[in-house]
Amino acid sequence: MFGWIVRFLLISAGIVTGWFVAQDAAIFGVVRVMVALLLIAAIVAILAFWPSQWTINVNRFRKSR
């Protein structure tokens, strides 16, 4: 299961990196890892801040009833 998540992140990072860096370039792997780390950071930030926003919206909905 964890391998699938890592594989999905690296595939996504490879696609995004391919938009900006040629696949034959020596730095392609480094940039792909940097993009993968940015994706991981974005996912962690979304997971960290989503519950608080979601509970605020649920509380507003309950008060309006």
Q: Please state which of the ranges 25-29, 45-49, 54-58 shows the lowest mean pLDDT.
A: 54-58
**Rounded average pLDDT over 17-29:** 92
Rounded distance between C-alpha atoms, residue 54 and residue 29, angstroms: 37
Query: Of 2 and 25, which is predicted with more confidence?
Result: 25
| Residue 46 pLDDT > 80 | yes
Return mean pLDDT, the chain: 85
Buried b (16+ CB within 10 A) or exposed e, 22-52: eeeeeebeebbeebbeebeeeeeeeeeeeee
pLDDT > 90 fraction of the chain, expressed in percent and rounded: 49
How far does Cα 59 stand from its chain's mean position?
28
Q: How far is CA 22 from CA 32, 38, 65, in A?
A: 11, 19, 56
Domain, as residue range, for 57? 2-64
The number of domains in the chain is 1
| pLDDT at 53 (0 to 100) | 67
